[in-house]
A = this chain, B = another copy of it.
């Protein structure tokens, strides 16, 4: 079983790259499907889950350590339940034993003992804003300023989620097999090469 995980900065085209790679290689593809599975596991509404996982997580640690120590009053144990359901969903996917591409959701860390190739996709802010304006249903009517704010918020949420799972910092190149800067690139031209790269990686792992 071969699993390609795609971690990505918001707006960098990581999702499109992952989808195209899965089409080229004939792998299963998991992206928003994961949200539905989490909903089923946790009992929460899909929209609520989506919203929660795009927010910076509030966690059970003192936020005013050293002065009066107290705990964040809005500790969201729902967040914790969602995170647990998410990890469990990712593992379920892997346990099916089928070749797949998984977009985000910490799959690179959660599946560290599986046969994975971990890819990180990133790009300049300017390019990411442009992509959001051109391609995204949710952002194409937003102002540039609002898009930048949203990009930063979502990236921050992703980094925060990652820090729950691993000490390694989100987006640190050492955690990935390949980091691709998509600035100025057309993802459709890039996808066949990255698919080929992944196949070589898996072949080489097998031959060891």
Instruction: Tell yes or no: A193 within 8 A of B by CB.
Output: yes
Instruction: Give Cα A179 to B120, complex, Å.
Output: 10
Most chain B beta carbons < 10 A, residue from A120, A122, A173, A203: A173
* CB-CB nearest in chain B for A179: B179
Question: CA separation between A184 and B150, bound complex, in Å?
Answer: 38
Q: Which of A177-208 contact B (CB under 8 A)?
A: 177-181, 183-186, 189-190, 193, 196-197, 200-201, 203-205, 208
Is A27's beta carbon under 8 Å from chain B?
A: no
Q: How far is the CA of A184 from the CA of B171 in the complex (A)?
A: 21
Specify the main secondary structure of chain A where it touches its partner: mixed
Q: How many copies does the complex hold?
A: 2
Q: Within 8 Å CB of A183, what residues of B?
A: 177
A 116-145 contacts with B by CB, 8 A: 120, 122, 124
Complex CA–CA separation, A177 to B185 (angstroms): 10
A95 in the interface (beta carbon within 8 A) = no
Q: Is A176 an interface residue (CB 8 A)?
A: yes
Q: Which residue in chain B gives the minimum CB-CB distance to A205? A: B184
Question: Can you show 12 pairs from A to B with CB atoms below 8 A apart?
Answer: A122-B174, A171-B173, A178-B178, A184-B204, A184-B208, A185-B201, A185-B204, A189-B203, A189-B204, A193-B193, A193-B197, A197-B197
Q: Could you list which residues of chain A lie within 8 angstroms of chain B, going by C-beta atoms?
A: 120, 122, 124, 171, 173-174, 176-181, 183-186, 189-190, 193, 196-197, 200-201, 203-205, 208
Question: Which of B181, B200, B205 is A190 in contact with, Cβ under 8 Å?
Answer: B200
Interface centre among A120, A184, A205 (most CB of B within 10 A): A184
Contact B178 A181 (CB under 8 A): yes
Contacts of A197 in B (CB 8 A): 190, 193, 197
Q: Given B178, B180, B184, B193, which contacts A196 in the complex, CB threshold below 8 Å? A: B193
A197 CB, nearest partner CB in chain B, Å: 5
